[in-house]
Amino acid sequence: MEVKQNNLGASSNQDLENKLVKTYIYALGGLNEIGKNMYCIEHGNSMIIIDAGVKFPENELPGIDYVIPDFQHLIKNRSKIKALIITHGHEDHIGGIPFLIQTVNIPIIYASKLTAGLIKNKLDEDNLNYLTRIKEIDPNDIIKIGAMKISFFATTHSIPDSLGVCIDTPNGRIVETGDFKIDLTPIGQDIDISKIATLGDQGVTLYMADSTNAEVEGSSKSERDVAKSLHEIFKNATGRIIIATFASNVHRIQQIIEASVKYNRKILVFGRSMENAISTGRKLGYIRCPDNYIYDIETAKISAYQNLNELLILCTGSQGEPMAALSRIANNTHKVIKIIPGDTVVFSSNPIPGNLAPVTKVINMLSKQGAEVIVNSSLYSIHTSGHAQREELKLMLKLVRPKYFMPIHGEYRMLKLHADLAVMVGIVNKDKTFICENGDILVMYKGEVRRGKKLEIATKYIDGKDINGIDENVIKDRIRLGNDGLISVVVPIDIKNMNMLKPPSIVSRGFIFLKEWGELLVEAERVVYDALSKLLKERVSLTDIKNTIKKATSEFVFERTQREPIVIPVILIKRD
């Protein structure tokens, strides 16, 4: 076992002091939501962060690319941050790293081999590798940071090299699972049940565990079951096969490639994240494929000359993302691939919460063009979750046997069901479970855990790659624009004599159809004219004029239409 000791280790003179210091545990993201996982452990002058993920926006966040945690608390406590530890390489655990390292100094990132490779690629894209150092770890490593000792255990998930984390502090032991499942016939590494049981035997003060599938009965299917269904599809398909799956599901990609090679289908790869995942996976040895089976985009342009039953198209877009490869294929805007009647399109994933509508839309568009669309069902077992279901969660609780339990990584109902499960199996009493929100602090001291104060934290909305994010008021304006449109009121004013040079002129966009509602705008112009005529009898400020225009227009329009378009006053000023 390799022991890593950084220069932040506590001296013997600090031992007594460390025993008197409390340990704080809290989340900046990942609670009451799926995504943007970020958990902090703080002891004395040392803080470690576990994961730094993003959350992908739902439809009610127009124009937003990512949702990330608010880093204000980390900025205030920047001197305490000693390391970022990553459990695995999914975007909801690593996607926030570029934004984080541009905001606060992260001295070092610890990650397993594949995870480290994915992070390096992500930072290379934006030329950010100089901002931090990435250190590869494996399940046998131990890291000492201040009075904390961090060790790891192998877990099984839908991506290789997943890790759980154990943090030993002077006040007790914390075990955090990361995302996991218990697959007894996995593709890739086994979950280290023996090591987890040993941690439980030695004593675990606080257990923090993945709750994503806490409402799903039974145990999850093995990834090997998916391979059987994929081979059946390859065997029966007579035309091209198009498969969409998560780019980060390296095990699934490997199975798809193996089936393609077995049935002699050349592979076309589309979607930047898919291309990056396959490139990184092949470079590090996690994806194996003969070179002559992978086509690049230039080679793909001659694909029309190949026999249709000799092609596999592997792409992104299993969640109906508008700009992903499969969505562009479905709406006939992809520059290379068009649907050919007889194509078999496979969704090797399940829609994540909030994505059912866009996925259904893509399925319908593909079907209309003559494709046979296959989704995960009782007929075709082409996807299995990477998250533990209720029976697996029970087993982990029995193995860890914690004194206190904090469910993580899930919406409220998932956290609640997981906490109830811990009580049901007799591991903890209800008063020793903590269903927390982002910002809630747990205080661990001398083997006991209680609730502490709550941090005031917010959420950041990222449009493009601007690390500053945008204000919630901008989101509200975008929603109003989408729902009710915009009205622009143009008024030329002689500022010296305080009178209108011409009557107000109103232009609308996204509010009404002019041919049908033109009289409404004419009437609105008269309302604004009357309001300004009355106001301009006295000397007033430009602000007063703008507010009067907004108020008169908004009240009139709402009274007549029950809608609230954004009103933008445009004042043309004559000063001479």
Cβ neighbours, 10 Å, residue 506: 22
Q: Based on C-alpha coordinates, what's the Rg of the chain?
A: 29
pLDDT in tens, 325-349: 899 999 999 888 889 999 999 999 8
Report pLDDT for 6: 44
Q: pLDDT above 70 covers what percent of the chain? A: 91
pLDDT in tens, 292-318: 888 766 655 555 546 778 889 999 888
Residues 6 or more apart whose Cβ sits within 8 Å of residue 7: none
- Taking CB atoms within 8 Å and a gap of at least 24, the contacts of 335-338 are 336/270, 336/297, 336/300, 336/301, 336/303, 337/242, 337/268, 337/270, 337/300, 337/313
Distances (CA, A) of 249 to 24, 89, 350, 545: 33, 10, 13, 58
Report pLDDT for 481: 79
Nearest 5°: the CA angle 285, 287, 292 is 105
HEC secondary structure over 426-474? CCCCHHHECCCCCCEEEEEECCEEEEEEECCCCEEEECCCCCCCECHHH
Cβ neighbours, 10 Å, residue 224: 15
pLDDT in tens, 251-292: 899 999 999 999 999 999 988 889 888 999 999 999 999 988
Classified as helix, coil or strand, 424 is helix
Length of the chain (residues): 576
Tell which wins on pLDDT, 391 or 520. 391
Q: Does residue 530 have an active-site annotation? A: no
225, pLDDT greater than 60: yes
Query: What is the arrangement of strands in the sheet containing 344-347, beginning at the earlier edge strand?
Result: 294-295, 266-270, 311-315, 241-244, 344-347, 372-374
Report pLDDT for 14: 55
HEC secondary structure over 135-191? EECCCCCEEEECCEEEEEEECECCCCCCEEEEEEECCEEEEECCCCECCCCCCCCCC
What whole-number distance in Å separates Cα of residue 410 and Cα of residue 57?
Answer: 16
State the pLDDT confidence band at 2, using cuts at 50, 70 and 90.
Answer: very low
Report pLDDT for 437: 96
- Average model confidence (pLDDT) for the chain? 88
What whole-number distance in Å separates Cα of residue 74 and Cα of residue 96?
Answer: 14
Report pLDDT for 10: 40
pLDDT in tens, 523-533: 888 999 999 98
Q: Does residue 210 have an active-site annotation? A: yes
How many Cα atoms sit within 13 Å of 428 on the Cβ side? Answer: 26
> What would the DSSP string read from start to end of 104-127?
S----EEE-HHHHHHHHHHHHHTT
Report pLDDT for 60: 67
What whole-number distance in Å separates Cα of residue 175 and Cα of residue 208?
Answer: 6
Which of the residues 168, 210, 343, 463 is marked catalytic?
210
What whole-number distance in Å separates Cα of residue 191 and Cα of residue 292?
Answer: 34
Question: In the CATH scheme, what architecture does the domain 472-574 have?
Answer: Roll (3.10)
State the pLDDT confidence band at 5, using cuts at 50, 70 and 90.
Answer: very low
Question: In the CATH scheme, what architecture does the domain 3-11+18-218+386-462 have?
Answer: 4-Layer Sandwich (3.60)
3, pLDDT greater than 50: no
Tell which wins on pLDDT, 536 or 380. 536
Q: Which residue has the tokens 């009965």?
A: 217
Tell which wins on pLDDT, 12 or 175. 175
Q: pLDDT above 90 covers what percent of the chain? A: 58
State the pLDDT confidence band at 447, using cuts at 50, 70 and 90.
Answer: very high
The whole-number average pLDDT for the span 242-247 is 91
Q: Using an 8 Å Cβ cutoff, are 567 and 511 in contact?
A: no
Q: Using an 8 Å Cβ cutoff, are 38 and 69 in contact?
A: yes
Lowest mean pLDDT among 191-195, 292-296, 394-398: 292-296
In sequence order, the β-bridge partners of residue 37 are none
Report pLDDT for 516: 56
Tell me if domain 3-11+18-218+386-462 and domain 223-374 are identical in fold: no
Lowest mean pLDDT among 116-120, 227-231, 247-251, 509-513: 509-513
**Homologous superfamily in CATH for domain 223-374:** Metallo-hydrolase/oxidoreductase (3.40.50.10710)
pLDDT in tens, 480-502: 777 788 889 999 988 778 888 88
Terminal CA-CA length for the chain: 83
Classified as helix, coil or strand, 131 is helix
DSSP state letter for 403: S
Residue-range domain boundaries for the chain: 3-11+18-218+386-462, 223-374, 472-574
Report pLDDT for 134: 97
DSSP state letter for 318: T
* Pairing verdict, β 505-509 and 486-494: antiparallel
What whole-number distance in Å separates Cα of residue 394 and Cα of residue 92?
Answer: 24
Which of the residues 43, 157, 251, 387 is marked catalytic?
387
pLDDT in tens, 20-55: 799 999 999 999 998 899 999 999 999 999 999 998
Closest by CA position to 461, among listed 451, 473, 470, 474: 470
